[in-house]
Amino acid sequence: MSLEREEPTHFGAGPAQLPTVVLQQAAKDLINYNNIGLGIGEISHRSKDAIKVIDDAKAHLKTLMNIPDDYETFFIQGGGTTGFSSLATNMAAAYIGKHGRMAPGGYLVTGSWSQKAYEEANRLHVPSKVIFNSKDYDSNKKFGSIPKESQWIEEFNKNKEYSYVYFCENETVHGVEWQELPECLASNPNVEIVADLSSDILSREIDVSKYGIIMAGAQKNIGLAGLTLYIIKKSILKDIEKCTSNDLLENNIPATPIAFHYPTVVKNNSAYNTIPIFTLHVMDLVFKHLLKKGGVKVQEQENNEKAQLLYTALDKHPDFYNLPVQKDCRSKMNVVFTLKNNDLDEKFLKEATIAKLTGLKGHRSVGGFRASIYNALSVESVKKLADFIDDFAKENSN
């Protein structure tokens, strides 16, 4: 069987398209890794070869994101949903360990994923508060905007303390993306920012030092499903360790399962239990591929070009396409849109598929269409979609 393939133009939101060269190398390594006679998925997670994969992935990510020395990087099985619960319980423990008391976690809800993160913390009885829900600021009570900080700062200030403040930097379902950190968080040393970057990590340069924890599931922009990376301040790890089981009991906070207890995972170099080493290896191949391209700065320039191509094509036909997201928070990773004439939906998908433009169907909860233009999608692939969008509108307008 050949490892060659026609370069796909797949716009699925996740699991998503990966660079062909990454998959070709991964396929070879799955059979025989580094000529050791075993595939990468067959070796012990505590062997020298596996440990090197873990260490290399951490080192390459540190270079790509310029991660400061006072941060740790680690990997945990699962995805964003696993992170919703582990972030809440670990950050609650960190706050208790540092202050000897509990304060609520704050949530900035801008889409379904940040909503689910809040709901999970609430389900676990970790004190939590919605600082704002962007639906409340929309005339149609839908996600599609981020309110100005001046509109919710009063609600934020009602609590003098937060154990953390959580937000999802890019909402894949609703196509909403934060363009910058809220000033009230970025300039406040007493608030730990916890951010889900699952679908826009490594898509643009960020200042890691502004964050307390960064979480990113792999299957959208950096790898295969089944593994999530975390970047955390070392001081937070120390605070978690200070919190005893009795402290948790006195504050009615659930204990974190050992496999998701951040200090335990870090002390064991992400191998406390059996890490899916093949999945991590693919992630590291993506890191190395991006380094070879020139790093995040080069990728950001490419992503800006792709987003401009696609939004320009859609905005060119305002009577044909509807873009539900306000321009100041449009995602550069997940472009969502609908047709003014819903009767053309099936035709759009059918003709797009014939043109080999796949994965465009919108999330089942919102319908319409979604083009996820992650790092692996080339400018040429996005241009094909932009041309199709333009042509389809011209051919089907009344």
- Whether 207 is catalytic is no
Judge whether residue 2 has pLDDT over 90: no
Q: pLDDT-derived band of residue 366, with 50, 70 and 90 as boundaries?
A: confident
- Whether 220 is catalytic is yes
Decide if 286 contacts 18 (C-beta within 8 A): yes
pLDDT digits (tens, 9 = 90+) for 151-162: 999 999 999 999
Decide if 118 contacts 174 (C-beta within 8 A): no
> Average per-residue pLDDT in the chain?
96
pLDDT at 275: 94
Q: Which of 113, 233, 284, 332 is catalytic?
A: 113
pLDDT at 369: 97
Instruction: Give the Å distances, CA to CA, from 229 to 10, 32, 325, 337, 353.
Output: 24, 26, 28, 30, 33
Judge whether residue 84 has pLDDT over 80: yes
Instruction: Give the Å distances, CA to CA, from 250 to 92, 100, 118, 254, 331.
Output: 13, 10, 23, 10, 42
Average pLDDT estimate for 127-131: 97
Fill in the DSSP letter of residue 7: P
- Among 122, 108, 224, CA closest to 170: 108
Q: Which of 58, 178, 200, 220 is catalytic?
A: 220
Q: Which of 29, 129, 152, 196 is catalytic?
A: 196
Instruction: Give the Å distances, CA to CA, from 41 to 3, 53, 127, 276, 280.
Output: 19, 12, 40, 8, 10
Domain 48-290, second-level architecture: 3-Layer(aba) Sandwich (3.40)
- Whether 113 is catalytic is yes
Decide if 296 contacts 67 (C-beta within 8 A): no
pLDDT digits (tens, 9 = 90+) for 306-358: 999 999 999 999 999 999 999 999 999 999 999 999 999 999 999 999 999 99
Q: pLDDT-derived band of residue 139, with 50, 70 and 90 as boundaries?
A: confident
The CB density around residue 48, as the number of other CB atoms within 10 Å, is: 8
pLDDT digits (tens, 9 = 90+) for 282-305: 999 999 999 999 999 999 999 999
Q: Give pTM, 2 decimals.
A: 0.97
Considering the domain 296-396 in this protein, what is its CATH number? 3.90.1150.10
Q: Where are the domains of the chain?
A: 48-290, 296-396
Name the token pair of 111: 């889409």
